[in-house]
Copies of this chain bind each other. A is one copy, B any other.
Amino acid sequence: MATTSIKEQVYQELSRVTHAISNPKRMELIDVLSQKDYSVEELSKEIAMSIASTSQHLQVLKSAKLIDKQRQGNFIIYSITDDSVLRLVFAVKELGFRKIAEIERLIRDFKTDKNILESITLDDLLIRSKKEKIILIDVRPEEEYKAGHIPNALSIPLEQLQKRLNELPQNKTIVAYCRGPLCVMAADAIKLLNEKKYKAIRMEDGYVEWKLKRQEKSKN
């Protein structure tokens, strides 16, 4: 019993995984990388942090095997190692969103602030789309859409929405989604669409949530 037991060593190693996600910025990095692979420079902009610090956080994530890297020309591109990382982050959010009162309050404030009166989930979308014809739009950057999107979704990045309004029918319900519950893009899209008298609602879930849900269903 002089040496640490194997059990303790395993817990020690496991805590490297949890330590890696125990920092807000690193969690945000994983969230961004869940949408699409990115370079250090792009990630640094996305999480509003110096390149050196971003790189340092990426090292931590890499050593915990949560992300991989790969050179592409001048850039080094980081990516999520596999879907078990998505499931881990999903489990954290599932717990946090439901149980931490402070988070519930923040999300409520967020919705009030963005004037999000109505929003639906993936399940709601499925049910509604059986009753009526729904136009589903993906307002994330086109690159993220290309990397993967919900079937039948139309790619209309937020910054192009104003110009491309004519592609959308006034008489049908439009559902917009982006990166997920914490992302503002879909909310901004809804605001614009509502001003232009479209019938538009936000979906909180994004592509990653859809992907995880689909996997779960196909497993049984």
**Residues of A that sit less than 8 Å from B by CB:** 6-19, 21-25, 27-28, 64-66, 81-82, 84-85, 87-88, 90-96, 98-100, 102-103, 106-107, 109-110, 113, 182, 184, 216-217, 219-220
Contact = CB atoms under 8 A, between A and B. Distances in A.
A98 B113 contact: no
A8 B19 CA distance: 18
Contacts of A18: 18, 21-23, 27, 92
A215 to B, nearest CB: 11
A139 to B, nearest CB: 16
A9 B113 CA distance: 15
A21 B11 CA distance: 10
Copies of this protein in the complex: 2
Which of A88, A93, A219, A220 has most B Cβ within 10 Å?
A: A88
Contacts of A110: 6
Contact of A13 (B64, B96, B216): B96
Contacts of A15: 21-24, 27
A76 B37 CA distance: 48
Contacts of A66: 95
Nearest to A65: B99
B102 A13 contact: yes
Interface centre among A15, A18, A82, A109 (most CB of B within 10 A): A18
A92 B85 CA distance: 9
A85 B90 CA distance: 12
